[in-house]
A and B are shown apart, each in its own frame.
Chain A
Amino acid sequence: MKELKQKLSKAFGKKNVSESLNELTLTINSEDVIEVCQKLKDEFQFEILMDLCGIDYLTYGESDWNGNASSSGFGRARQAQKSTSQKDQRFGVVYHILSVSNNQRLRVKALLSSENLMIQSVTKIWNCADWFEREAFDLFGILFENHNDLRRILTDYGFVGHPLRKDFPMIGEVEMRYDEELGRVVYEPVSIEPNVNVPRVIRK
């Protein structure tokens, strides 16, 4: 582990490598993803891409109680708040890779701004990235350049929006039912109310 950390610091710069909870994280620029990953696979023997996922940092570090508290008691926690912070690097793509031959794991993290939600696909390096990238596209709207088949994967055919983004409501936007008269399935705006049973709090 120490050895790997040193080697990584040498190859990618010391400030980009961090260690916590016995796990190593390498932060990279989103433009260099192909170059870095190829190097990690060839020189560091990270043969398996275990996981690839998107992450949305829009409401990071915000709790329900910080907002405009009203006098209506618990109800104040239920009001969905507009996020005040504008993060210029709102999205991230996180790769978890494993080296079977050296028994090492590494997390690689690339941050993306919401204006340019584009990153190179790593399907050429690790073939299994295919579906993981489709999933990140589906749930976050992150575009993977040079991906052969960037379709939605988990959500319904014809789904609108990216459900794991923090500004996508928990209850969704449309609901579906079968209409007797029309003789087909129709989509309507949701009729249920959002409900928070336990407010989100941050205690240091």
Chain B
Amino acid sequence: MSEMKNYTLNFGPQHPAAHGVLRLILELDGEVVERADPHIGLLHRGTEKLAESKPYNQSIGYMDRLDYVSMMCNEHAYVMGIEKMLGIKVPERAEYIRVMFDEITRIMNHLMWVGTHGLDVGAMSVFLYAFRERESLIDCYEAVSGSRMHATYYRPGGVYRDLPDKMPQYLESKLRSKEKLEEINENRQGSLLDFIDDFAKNFPKSIQQYSDLLTDNRIWKQRLVNIAIVSPERAMQLGFTGAMLRGSGIEWDIRKNEPYSVYDKLDFEIPVGVTGDCYDRYLVRMEEMRQSTHIINQCVAWLKENPGPVMSDDHKVTPPDREDMKGDMESLIHHFKLFTEGYCLPEGESYTAVEAPKGEFGVYLVSDGANKPYRVKIRAPGFAHLAAMDEMAKGHMLSDVVTIIGSQDIVFGEVDR
């Protein structure tokens, strides 16, 4: 009888559970994974090289396209890096809007994650419920920026424009009756803030619904508990951040430890896991959604009370008012200079990190004093997480690989850049 050899399996790049274009070379002994070698770069677009050839403002849109399910958080890191080097101050209202949208983005990301993670593991229905709620949040994106995904809403000096007074409504259509139309437009009668307020009031119920479907579900637990346990020491060695690090029991959150924007004025808590398995990471992310809702509530309350500017009036960096340009020579010059040449950052370098939904998203900017960055390095959380794939999958079954990919919350836009 011939000797049985290890079996090599090509997983992806078009496997639906690969969350994009992951090519995984798995060495299997029977059904047990001996070695996992992820091949990445199939979505490499050269964002860093492209950013070097453009004025600073023109690269904000690229940040959306990195981690394309947590768009505004990426923008936040990039924009904050520029502001730090320029030394400009952002109006407080803009900071609150940013924090509110960061948290909306976090919920959006986690909804996407819980949906697809459930789908991978075999729980179809969560996906449908999660996407129902996600739709409302995408509508908030659209209301504020005009775009449902790639918003380019944060700008150095603030945000592009103030929150709209009116939430867009569904129009009449052959496809829906009058009663149905009134029903779906019911929470869209007021401003965007009213809509978000309404969402945040109802969302805890939805989270409870997902929890009911999953948390005590026997199959869910069989698939997640004790899968890919990472000890706290290993988690740090492997460069984990975000929910992956907290799932292993290390209380580290940039929002708390190095508060940026207005996070130091808000009340929220950081969930931490105990064993560091996939189930803990699931619980941590679920709790994060509840905490995000809490933060959104506080931001909505503050924003309703405090009107004001949302963009810095330093017109070397931010565009002047269109009306001023008609009569004011200086505004016209500022506008012309800003849109033809951009602005120059002082020579130096900075590393700015934010707590993106997936972990620490950092931007390392090097400027030689020009209107374009000399070097932009994007530190994507998913990159370090995926690098740990081999260690996490070793000794587990083939079907667990799918659970691990889901638990890492991988998005290829940011891994490949």
Contacts and interface: CB of A to CB of B under 8 A. Distances in A.
Contact of B387 (A94, A128, A170, A202): A128
Interface residues of A, number: 45
A53 B366 CA distance: 12
Interface in A19-41: 20-21, 23, 25
A174 to B, nearest CB: 14
Interface stretch (B42-50, B106-114, B215-223, B401-409): B42-50
A131 B351 contact: no
Interface residues of B, number: 51
A100 B379 contact: no
Given A103-B257, A153-B41, A201-B370, A128 B416 contact: no
Contacts of A154: 40-41, 44, 416-417
B377 A51 contact: yes
Interface in A36-74: 47-51, 53, 55-56, 60-61, 63
Contacts of B374: 60
Nearest to B251: A100
Contacts of A7: none
A198 interface: yes
B236 A47 contact: yes
Given A51-B377, A105-B351, A201 B344 contact: yes
Contact of B258 (A48, A103, A128, A153): A103
A120 to B, nearest CB: 18
29 contacts: A21-B348, A21-B350, A25-B349, A48-B236, A48-B241, A50-B360, A51-B379, A53-B364, A63-B370, A94-B377, A96-B362, A103-B257, A103-B258, A105-B351, A107-B351, A128-B237, A128-B239, A130-B387, A131-B383, A132-B384, A135-B383, A152-B41, A154-B417, A164-B49, A170-B53, A196-B53, A198-B54, A198-B372, A204-B369
Interface of A: 20-21, 23, 25, 47-51, 53, 55-56, 60-61, 63, 94, 96, 100, 103, 105, 107, 126-128, 130-132, 135, 139, 152-156, 163-164, 170, 196-198, 200-204
